[in-house]
Amino acid sequence: MGKSRPPIPKELQLSIFRRDRWVCRWCNRPVIFAPVMRLIERDVRLARNGAPLSYYHAHWTRAGAPLLDELGAVIDHVEAYSTGGANSEDNLATACNKCNGRKSSASLKKWGGRVMRKPIKGKYGEPQHWDGLSGVFVILAQRDPVGLTASDRTWLKVFTKGLKVHSRGHACGVQ
């Protein structure tokens, strides 16, 4: 077993996701902020009397959460932590769950930056304002704070830091 990996602070994770515009470094696919899927599933299940849905699963299994199995956003160590890669911004990249799983702990040298999935290319350009559905997370979390996990609450704080919440409840950036 290698060195155990200290958790990456959520603020740092968010700055990496934003820097990378919520797109996988390796395959260029747009990624999804996973906690939003749990909140969406909660809402939809309520509306459907609890009928099961495959929007969210804690382990992002294909059976339980196919979208996250493919496109769940993770922070990837470019140089693996176990081989000395740091938790620093330039060693961290946004990745989709598939690329992260395939790269696993192979060092960058060994992996050689090989692209494990063919990178996609936009015929009409790259996403301009994709946010991994994190904006939906903020809205749903603020609307119904009961039942948020401790992790959700921390995320909400991180997302809304520096944002001013208006009396009507929506947040917007302040200069």
Give the integer Cα–Cα distance in Å for 74 and 166: 31
Q: Which is nearer to Zn ion, 27 or 34 (CB)?
A: 27
Site membership for Zn ion, residue 27 (CB under 5 A): yes
Q: How far is CA 96 from the centre of its chain?
A: 8
Name the minimum Å distance from CB 75 to Zn ion: 13
CA angle 26, 27, 33 (to 5 degrees): 90
Q: Identify the residue among 17, 26, 111, 159 touching Zn ion (CB under 5 A).
A: 26
Q: Minimum Å distance from CB 29 to Zn ion?
A: 5
Instruction: Fill in the per-residue mask, 76 to 115: x = in contact with Zn ion (CB under 5 A), - = not in contact.
Output: --------------------x--x----------------
Terminal Cα-to-Cα distance of the chain (whole angstroms): 47
Ramachandran category for residue 164: left, alpha or beta (phi over 0 → left; psi -120 to 50 → alpha): beta
For residues 24 and 93, which CB has a smaller minimum distance to Zn ion in the complex? 24
Question: Which of 78, 75, 120, 71 minimizes the C-alpha distance to 97?
Answer: 71
Whole-angstrom distance, CA of residue 156 vs CA of residue 148: 10
Binding of Zn ion by 24 (CB under 5 A): yes
Of 104 and 175, which CB lies nearer to Zn ion in the complex structure? 104
Nearer to Zn ion, 32 or 96 (CB): 96
CB of 28 to Zn ion, least distance (A): 7
Q: Which residue, 14 or 99, has its beta carbon nearer to Zn ion?
A: 99
148 is an interface residue for Zn ion by CB under 5 A: no
Q: How many residues bind Zn ion (CB under 5 A)?
A: 5
Buried b (16+ CB within 10 A) or exposed e, 129-152: eebbbbebbbebbbeeeeebeeeb
- Chain contacts with Zn ion (rule: CB under 5 A): 24, 26-27, 96, 99
